């Protein structure tokens, strides 16, 4: 431990980092350390990387990082959160003083965004993505926590390889990100907005209500009969008038997602060649329904062939 003398004469204790490493959350490796006083810290930049947000930003509230300083978030920032936002200086292994945050700030940031999300019309469009990431992190840390507790209670942690928990965390995070990520490329929305002569904002996550109906008609209804109805049954409209999940999150990775992505790729091509919604619909009918009718005719002829009957 060393001591720093501040401008006002106060003495600040700076503890050594006895252990250093990187914790991987999603695709991001965040520098972290355990100090000689037992405090677990993460780097300041790592906090923002964790939530896929650049560190730069206006500091709107003294003592709070910009990811928490927005006015609409302040009602959800507790004293505990403020305490964990205090910057912690520590002595790096290279002999220089580094600065970080208490590692417990990560789940606390998640809680702030999830509480704000529970209130109607609180989060801005750019904050909705952070709330989605927060939900993934909270779920994954909870899964990891119960595993660590059982290992500690049974003594299994002594037989566990050094990075076993890290591998488990990465697996959970990756799995949940896969479920959350959009299966519709940006080009899909760009062309859709162009066809309907609407201004496209790539930052905003808000979409006109008709887009859901458009997607049902031209995407999900083109899947095998009954798929859309089953998706709507398993993913009903909530009291808020929205669905709790995206339909594609219920599709199987091997078949459903593969079918969806191939179809959307072809659909975007037709959209690019169209000048208006009516023009698109005409081209869509020719491209997709024409091929579908040919397939039905082929199946009907195949089932009627004597050779097929004899092999039954």
CB 32 within 8 A of CB 45: no
Please, what's the largest Cα pairwise distance for the chain? Answer: 98
Strand residue runs (E) in the chain: 2-5, 11-25, 28-35, 40-43, 88-91, 97-102
Kindly give the parts of the chain with pLDDT less than 50: 291-299, 302, 304-312
Strands 97-102 and 88-91, sheet pairing: antiparallel
pLDDT value at residue 295: 43
pLDDT per residue over 51-83, tens digit each? Answer: 888 776 555 677 899 899 889 999 999 998 999
Which helix (H) or strand (E) is 168 found in, with range? helix 164-180
Residue (of 67, 144, 147, 70) closest to 108 by Cα position: 67
| 102 beta partners | 41
CB 46 within 8 A of CB 30: yes
| 165 beta partners | none
pLDDT value at residue 309: 35
Give the span between the Cα atoms of 264 and 110, in whole angstroms. Answer: 33
- Token pair 């031209």: residue: 218
Give the span between the Cα atoms of 17 and 103, in whole angstroms. Answer: 14
| 89 beta partners | 99
Q: Indicate yes or no: pTM above 0.75.
A: no
Give the span between the Cα atoms of 284 and 42, in whole angstroms. Answer: 52
pLDDT value at residue 20: 86
Give the span between the Cα atoms of 96 and 91, in whole angstroms. Answer: 6
Which helix (H) or strand (E) is 128 found in, with range? helix 125-154
């Amino acid at each position: 431990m060393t001591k720093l003398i501040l401008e006002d004469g106060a003495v600040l204790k700076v503890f050594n980092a006895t252990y250093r490493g990187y914790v991987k959350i999603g695709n991001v490796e965040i520098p972290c350390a355990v100090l000689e006083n037992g405090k677990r810290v993460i780097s300041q930049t790592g906090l923002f990387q964790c939530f896929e947000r650049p560190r730069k930003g206006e500091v709107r509230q003294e003592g709070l990082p910009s990811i928490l300083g927005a006015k609409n978030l302040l009602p959800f920032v507790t004293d505990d959160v403020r305490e964990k936002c205090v910057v912690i200086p520590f002595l790096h292994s290279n002999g220089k003083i580094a600065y970080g945050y208490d590692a417990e700030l990560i789940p606390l940031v998640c809680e702030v965004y999830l509480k704000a999300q529970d209130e109607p019309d609180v989060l801005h469009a750019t904050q909705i993505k952070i709330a989605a990431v927060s939900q993934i992190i909270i779920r994954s840390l909870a899964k990891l926590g119960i595993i660590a507790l059982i290992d500690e209670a049974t003594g299994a942690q002594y037989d566990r390889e050094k990075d076993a928990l890290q591998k488990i965390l990465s697996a959970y995070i990756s799995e949940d990100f896969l479920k959350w990520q959009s299966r519709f490329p940006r080009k899909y929305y760009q062309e859709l907005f162009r066809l309907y002569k609407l201004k496209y904002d790539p930052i905003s996550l808000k979409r006109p209500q008709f887009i859901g109906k458009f997607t049902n008609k031209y995407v999900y209804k083109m899947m095998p009969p009954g798929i859309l109805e089953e998706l709507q049954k398993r993913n009903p409209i909530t009291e808020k008038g929205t669905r709790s999940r995206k339909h594609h999150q219920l599709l199987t990775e091997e078949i459903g997602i593969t079918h969806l992505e191939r179809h959307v790729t072809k659909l975007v091509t037709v959209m690019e060649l169209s000048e208006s919604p009516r023009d698109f619909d005409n081209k869509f009918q020719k491209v997709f329904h024409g091929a579908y009718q040919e397939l039905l005719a082929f199946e009907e002829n195949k089932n009627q062939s004597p050779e097929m009957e004899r092999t039954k």
